[in-house]
Structure formats: C-alpha cells, structure tokens
Chains A and B, each alone.
Chain A
Amino acid sequence: MAHAAATAADDIIAYLDAHEKKSMLRFITCGSVDDGKSTLIGRLLYDTKLLYEDQLAALEADSRKVGTQGEKIDFALLVDGLAAEREQGITIDVAYRFFSTEKRKFIVADTPGHEQYTRNMATGASTADVAIILIDARQGVLKQTRRHSYICSLLGIRHIVVAINKMDLVDYSRATFDKIEADYRAFAKQLGFQSIVCIPVSALEGDNILTKSANTPWHRGPALLPYLESLDVSKDGSAEPFRLPVQWVNRPNLNFRGFSGTVASGTVRPGDEIVVVPSGRRSRVTRIVAKDGDLAAAGQHQAVTICLADEIDISRGDIICAGKAPAEQSDQFAAHVIWMHDDEMIPGRQYLFKTANRIIAGAITELKHKVNVNTLEHMSGKTLELNEVGFCNISTSAAIAFDPYAHNRETGSFIIIDRRTNNTVGVGMIDFSLRRAQNVHWQDLDVNKLARAASKHQKPCVLWFTGLSGAGKSTVANLVEKKLHDLGRHTYTLDGDNVRHGLNKDLGFTDADRVENIRRVAETSKLMVDAGLIVLVSFISPFQSERRMARDMVESGEFIEVFVSTPIEVCERRDVKGLYAKARRGEIKNFTGIDSDYEAPENAEVTLDTSKVSAADAASEIVEHLKKNGYLG
C-alpha cells in the first residue's frame, strides 16, 4: 500500500478526510479463457500496491509451484480462489475483488469466460457500472466477445471498456489494434451502449494499465486505471423519477410509522408528493428519518426511512413513487429471462418470482423466442436450458409495481425461484407490461371484450357440443377444457345437467321450456365470451333452429359447432345414465333419438364420432382446430 502510505505516514488525519470522500465504481471483467482476465485484475491489485508482503511472498511461492509464467509472477494466482479451481487452472465462479486509489474504491467482479458460464457473467454484470471486455490481440473479436457484450447490454451496463490485451505479443501493432477496434464498434452498434472506449494493453507487462505506455505512442486515449477513475456514472440513475421499494415497515410504537428501503432512483425531499403503486394512494413526505438526524434530501442508492403525512396502507412489496411519475403495475409482462439451472424452464410451470422487495407466485406462460447469445439471432424453442436466454411472457398471481428494466435496473429485475428446491433457477429483466393500457392506475374506459381477450392471450368463443345423449359430448368437452387449462387458457364449461340444477331449475321438458333452456344457456355463453372466455357448452340441443339462435347471438367466428356424431346404437349400448333403457320402457317421454328427433347439423365446424376415435384424440383434434384458427393467440 505504498501509494497510500506516502501521504498516510505524513498526515493521517488529512489522509482519512481525503479518503472518506472517495466515490465507488463497480466493474466486471469479461473475456474468453486465456484472454488474461485474472492476470489483469492481479496486475491492478499489484500496481495499486494493495498487496501485503505476506501475500506477495505467498504469491511468489505459488507462482513457482503452479504458475504458468515461469520465473515471473503469475498474477492470475492472486484471484483464482477456490482450491478445486486452482488445480484446474481456471476460475469457475464469480469472485469479487477490491482495490482503491486516491480517487475511487473499485469492486471488481471476476467472471469466467467459457461457454457454459453465461450465468456467472450475468451475475457479475448485474451490479456493474462498467464492463471491461478483454480481447486477445492475436485473436480479435471472437464469438465469446459478442456473447459477453450482449450479456452486458442485456444486463443494462452502459459503459464498455474494450481492453485489447497481449499487445506485447503483436509488437504493439497499431494496425492490429485499429482493426479490432473497428470490428468491435461495428458489431456493438446494435447493443446501444452509452460509451465504448478501446485501450491497447498488456496485463502481463503493465502497458497502459496505470499510465500510458511508451510502447504505444500512437494511442491517443487514456490508460485503463485513469479512465476508470474518471468515468462519471453518478448520473446514470438519477434522472429517473423517484422510486422507493418498501422493504420493511418501521413501527416501533403507535406514534411512529416509517417506510424503510433503498432509493432505487431519483431523489426525495420532505414535502414531495408521492403515490404508492399498486394501491394508487397519495400522500406527502413529511420526514426522511436517520439515526444521526433527519435528512433534507435522499437520492439513488441511499437506504432511508421515510414518513408520510397520511395514514395510508403501505406494506412490503409496494413502491413509493414520485407523485407525477408513478411506476407501472401489471400481472402480465414480457421479459428477457436468463436460465441459470440444470433443470430446464418449462412454460406453464409455477415458479416464485422475487422482485426488489416482493415474492409472488407466477408462471412463464410462453417462450416467444430464444436468443442465440453468440449471434443475437432469434430462435424458436419450447424450453430454456441452463445458460440460455429467452424472451418470455410472464403472468403473476397479482399485480406488481415495476418499471421497464431499461429505465430502472432496481425496479425492473426479478429472480425466479423453484418452488420445490428453493434454488434460484433463473433471472429476468422486464421489457413491458402486456396490458394494453400501461399507465392505468385502477381502471380504464376501454376494457372491452378485445382487451379482456388480449389479456388472456386468446380469442374468446363458444364450443357448442351437440349430439345424442351418451355420444360423449361432456367427456370430450371435459378433456378439451383440461387441455386448454394446461395451456394457460381461460375457460368455462356449461353442462346441460349442471345448468338445470341452478340457473334453469324452474324449467321442465316441454318444447317451450327446451327453447328457453337453450336461450338462457346461449345468453350466458354470450356474456362469458364477452368476458374473454372460451366457453364449452355441452347440450344435446337437437334442433337446428335453437343452435342457429345460439350462433347468431355471438359474433361471426365466435361460434364453433362440434357435432359429436356417435351413432345411436353405440350411444344406447353405452347408456351411461340408464336413460335409453328408461325411454325404451316408456318411463321418459320426448327422449331424443327414441321418440323425439335429432336434427344433425349440416355445417358443423368439427364433427367427431367417438365410436371411431378415442375421447382423447377427439379432444386433441378440437384443440388443434382452435390453434389453427387463431383462438389460442
């Protein structure tokens, strides 16, 4: 710590005062195997004199024993921590390192570069302000370089330093450097970084690390460390509106009620108007309480406790927002998900989602596409495996407050937890709400059939099952509903028998009552279609005219007639309810097929004979029909 000691030895009080005001920068280093990440970090630790003598002695001993640099010090040994890894000669997890200069304290996330460890890189990137991407000057921009850059952009890193390393091995060639810089900038254009700085370095020899190297007189930019010391990231989150995710309600006694949390963005002052999301309740900040005395203002990253003017209901999970710019809320989102576990992600399965301050149940309802992290191409897929990235639709059991991740890393991120093992199996970054009106705080004039259907990702319709008693209508309808439910669709079944127990229990079996029976069922299904549901109606409904009436009640394309055409002999043989026997004995009058006609549909959308196909196949056929015709979104 010689650099520090010089001043510390002379005037310790002045030293302490100066160092108290240092700012902080978190960065991540990423590169392929052998690009020299660990060597670079080791070099930074070494050059900023943050090694103690006993550490240095141990390093020299280790370098001779297992080092890869012959007689020279192997800096990588400083940062390759765990015993198992040291034997393999590679880092396998995320390690955090610290060093500081007179201007800044640095926290470095060191993450591995090989293919299977996307998850570790994402972990390191999630808290980093800056990424140093290492490129071996002899190799140029590789597949891995693209992958690392994409993951950095996905995780919201705005500043990139491209350290073109091992310049000593290409004779400090300017042409090599220029070509790699041009290649990189061309590729990175699509990633939307706020700044990209390319620096020619040799981590091993120390070129352009602390100071500009005489070996690269043509390099007009800064050396690495001075650049990291001067980069201003303080404004990155301060322009966003105020957000305080409430972590803990502070209630020591009846006279004090404060809301504790870490300011995710923006600033807050006593007197500010706030709105609580999701509840929409409004109030004003009265105090920002701290142990050493109230604060006049608080900003991003500060852990605060605030008090409000009104006794409104606020609990953990809520976000206190600037009154004029509330966060969004929704229970359905589109988000990018990075899968982090060996057990693949399965759409429809229930997971727990944890946001900045809340755990909520939910499911990934759909994998829209996967992203090839090397080429950025979209690919189709049914599941996500470890280290894969997908763009997904997510549905939670209740509305949560959020901001898009691009605007706010703190309020736009979540982790996914397996309900059985409690492992963190994935992470996500919210892109947008799937609700049409995104800023609606409690209601919207435009909630209509379309909106309700859109929120359910389906086109509502009536599946009208008609056919003889015992034809298999209810059995098939039941299976169809199960399948649709598994697909996350919203359904309801109106069954002849069930409806007659309730809604229609005043009706008998006269012709008039039969028509009224069908009319009520048709009206009910119309309401349900308006509610956005897929309605399954299972009624004998023997007459063309009644079915026509039901069809005409809903819009065209919303009525799907399913004719279960199982022949009467088969139905009578099955006679599950014993009705045919009774009818034959004359105990039931007007029994369809025996002493009352069944008018078979002429233009049914689907016709099925359950004496020829199994109920399961029949159900699949219907679901297929729905899919093909766009009912399932």
Chain B
Amino acid sequence: MNSIEELVSRAERLAERKDLALSTVSRKLLNDGKGINRLKSGGQLTMRTLETAFERLSALESADKPAGVTALNPQPKGAQMTAPLDEAAKGGADLISPQRMSHLDRIEAEAIHIMREVAAEAENPVMLYSIGKDSSVMLHLAAKAFFPSRPPFPLMHVDTTWKFKDMYAHRDRIAKELGFELIVHINEDGLKQGVGPFTHGSAIHTDVMKTQSLKQALDKYKFDVAFGGARRDEEKSRAKERIFSFRSAQHRWDPKNQRPELWNIYNTRIHKGESIRVFPISNWTELDIWQYIYRENIPIPSLYFAKERPVVDRDGALIMVDDDRMPLKDGERPKMEMVRFRTLGCYPLTGAVRSSADTLPQVIQEMLVSTSSERQGRVIDHDQSASMEKKKQEGYF
C-alpha cells in the first residue's frame, strides 16, 4: 500500500515542480489522465503496472534533477495513519476466530440468505403465517435477517375461521410485538355458504377455506412470492420440492418440471401472474425446529404445552371442543384431559395427544421418545399415501 502512496506523493511533487497538470503526469506514468486521482481515492493496480510507473517516474524525475535526489524517498504522509490500523487488523496471536457453526447456525444462515434474496428480487413478497411453531420460527428468522430494519414484507394469515381461539390471540399479539404488518384473509364466499369441517367434511373445508382461499388472497394482493414454512422432512413429496417452488398462473405445482436449483443461487424470474412459493426452512427437521425454539427462546402458542382441556375421542383422535360450533354426538360428552398439540390447524381437524409435558424441554423430550410422526395428528392426509402430493399439485401449500 505504501508503494501506491509513494507513487502518488512523488507524482504530485513532480507535477508541482515542473508546473504540469497532475493529469499530465498521470498520463505519462499510467497512460491514464485520471489514474493518479483514482489511486488517491483508493484505486488499485497490478504490481507490474506499479513497477512500470515507478520506472517512468524515476526517468521523469531524473530528467530535471541531479541524480541522487530522487533516491531520498520522503516518508509518505499517509503511512503513519495507516500503520496502526493495519496492526490492529492483524491483531497478533489473540485474534478472535469466528464461532464454529453448529448445524442450527448453518440452517439459520441458509434461511436468512433465502429471505434476503427474496427481499432483494421480489416485487411484492408476503410471508404466510399459520401461527404454528414453524411459522413462529419463520417470523423470528425474518426479524433477524433484516435487523435493524423491519422485514420488508407483510404477514398474511389465511384464516379458515376454525382455528383455536388461543391461536388467534397469539397471532395478534406476536404481529404487534414484532412490528409486522398483518393481513388476515378469509374466503368470504365459503363463509357465506357456511363451509365448515363439521357440515362439509374435512376435504371440502380444507379445499375451500384453505387452498382456494390462499389462491384468492394471492390473486387479490398480487403477491409474486409467498414464503411458506414447509419442511422437506414432513412428507415424502416435499423432499423433492425446491426451495424456490414455481407456481403457474393457476397456482399449480408441476413436480416433473421443476427448475434445477444449484448452490445458493435461486432463479426468481417469473412472468406476470405466475408466482413462487419459497420455503426457507426446507432443510430443517422437526427436531431442528424445537431445538431452535429452545435456543432462541421463541414464543409459541400455549396449545403446544400440556394443560387440562375439554376433548372428545373421535375415531382415535382426541378433538378439543374449543367452541360451541362443535356438534356433539349422542351421549358424547367433553372430558377434561391433560393434553397438548404437536401440530396446530383447524381445531376440529387437529388431534391432541395425552401428555403432561408443560415445559419446552419436556415437550422436546416427549417428541424425541414419541412413536408417531408429526403429521399424523393432522386428519387431512390420512386417506392415501400420495394425497399430499395431489393437494400440492392443486395448490395446497
């Protein structure tokens, strides 16, 4: 670095002495009239160019000065200023190394990278928020990714109107606390027709109030990218889905025609009307999610923790009677039981598990020794093993 500074100061003095414009000297030394000025503002050049420039400089200097004078290279002015900083940067032996990254650090960084990429390239992104634990992690990641800025996209909750009361309370509190703009979308047509899980069955309810409603909302707000909290370990067909998952203008996913996804370079180009679902936590497992919630102390709805709740047993699933919309069969009476939920959705479609785990470590402990996988609690993908793939092709997240 000193060499460049030396070149600059000697060139300046040569210009002064010979009454030449600095640009003239610069041209003579570097074949570029602005070269010296560029060097002064931090420009760079190759060693060879530098050597040539010094040779030329020496020749010019000796042309009007007795030999020997140029050998007295005065100390360049900048040198004293830069030296201590250089020392500081080197720091010596007690240099602080970056922390070795754990698997949680790695997947956290990956998710943040993905969110920033969307923020930089999408025109109108949105983060879908389902209030569950994965959504809670997504919110937390978004807050980290853009700190100290607020995340540059709104949250959207596609509300079926059948969520647990606790979930609504949690949603409104968290959005406010983190300073997110919250959009709540309800399929008003479905609501008018009175579509619900008890009257229409889980398949129609989910299709109208969730799948169709989501498409409706995306069309209404013209979101081009929607973040979702799906993970590849949840279900087989998701294992093959890209992180940036392309959707046609009809919101369809074509598993046979996915864009190749290499490195951490994501193709965000779409035509008008098309959209991309982005899954920043694709590579997280259920254990990762829990462990991260534990490490980062992320607030999650209280439904995940065991508590006495009124439930009825329906075909082996414990359904919580969350409000009076739930019709009870003859002789059926809600029973107070210590239960909690491993996954959250519409209360009539979400089975509880008997449990006494009322702290996070206990919940994780129970998860670790549990014998049935996460999505089993959800009633919708029980019918046939390829049903999730079908739903996805139709536009379900």
Complex-state Cα separation, A127 to B106, whole angstroms: 13
The residue that B361 contacts in the complex, of A13, A97, A269, with Cβ under 8 A, is: A13
Answer whether residue B372 sits at the interface, using C-beta atoms and an 8 A cutoff: yes
The interface residues of chain B lying within 8 Å CB-to-CB of A52 are 370-373
Contact of B368 among A1, A261, A271, A359 (CB under 8 A): A1
Q: At the interface, yes or no: A625 with Cβ under 8 Å from chain B?
A: no
A443-B32 contact in complex given A58-B385, A123-B260, A269-B89, C-beta closer than 8 Å: yes
Residue B3 at the A interface, CB < 8 A?
Answer: no
Query: Does A581 sit at the interface, judged by CB under 8 A?
Result: no
> When A105-B103, A414-B265, A442-B43 are in contact, do A291 and B143 touch as well, CB less than 8 Å?
yes
Once A20-B295, A302-B101, A305-B147 are accepted as A-B contacts, the answer to whether A247 and B262 lie under 8 Å apart by CB is no
State in angstroms the CA–CA spacing of A367 and B61 once bound together.
Answer: 50
Which A residues are CB-close (under 8 A) to B109?
262, 301-303
| A126:B120 contact, CB within 8 angstroms | no
> B44: which of A12, A275, A301 is its contact (CB, 8 Å)?
A275
Kindly list chain A residues whose C-beta atoms are within 8 Å of the C-beta of B89: 269, 271-273, 284
Between A and B, 26 residue pairs with Cβ closer than 8 Å are A5-B368, A8-B364, A8-B365, A20-B102, A20-B291, A54-B376, A81-B239, A81-B240, A82-B237, A83-B386, A96-B282, A96-B283, A98-B283, A247-B116, A248-B120, A248-B146, A273-B89, A289-B147, A289-B148, A297-B97, A297-B98, A297-B99, A340-B260, A414-B265, A424-B260, A424-B261
CB distance B97 to A21 under 8 Å? no
Q: Does A179 make an interface contact (CB < 8 A)?
A: no
The verdict on A4 contacting chain B, using a C-beta distance below 8 Å, is: yes
Which of A196-204, A250-258, A492-500 contacts its partner? A250-258
Query: Which residues of A are in contact with B by a Cβ distance under 8 Å?
Result: 1, 4-5, 8-9, 12-13, 15-16, 19-24, 52-55, 58, 62, 79, 81-84, 86, 92-98, 100, 104-105, 107, 119-120, 122-123, 126-127, 234, 247-248, 250-252, 256, 258, 260-262, 267, 269, 271-273, 275, 280-284, 289-291, 295-303, 305, 316, 326, 340, 352, 354-357, 359, 409-410, 413-415, 417, 422-424, 427, 437, 439-447
* Residue pair A267, B282 in contact (C-beta under 8 Å): no
A256 contacts which chain B residues (CB < 8 A)? 148
Whether B157 is near chain A, meaning CB under 8 Å from some CB there, is no
> Quick one: which of A247, A326, A356 has the most chain B CB within 10 A?
A247
The answer to whether the Cβ of B68 comes within 8 Å of any Cβ in the partner chain is no
Question: B256: CB under 8 A from chain A?
Answer: yes
A357 to B264, CA, bound (A): 10
B118-158 interface code vs A (CB 8 A; 1 in, 0 out): 01100000000000000000000001111111100000000
**A269, A282, A299, A410: the one within 8 Å of B91 (CB):** A269
Q: Of B42, B102, B236, B287, which is within 8 A of A21 by CB?
A: B102
Tell me which residues across on chain B come within 8 A of A24, comparing CB atoms.
101-103, 106-107
Closest to B144 in A: A291
* CB-based closest 10 A-B pairs: A299-B98, A441-B44, A282-B42, A52-B373, A105-B103, A126-B262, A24-B103, A303-B112, A81-B236, A83-B386
Instruction: Report which of A9, A247, A289 forms a contact with B120, defined as CB distance below 8 A.
Output: A247
By the criterion CB–CB under 8 Å, are A93 and B255 in contact? yes
Beta-carbon contacts under 8 Å, B240-267 to A? 240, 255-256, 258-265, 267
Q: Which residues on A sit within 8 Å (CB–CB) of B88?
A: 271
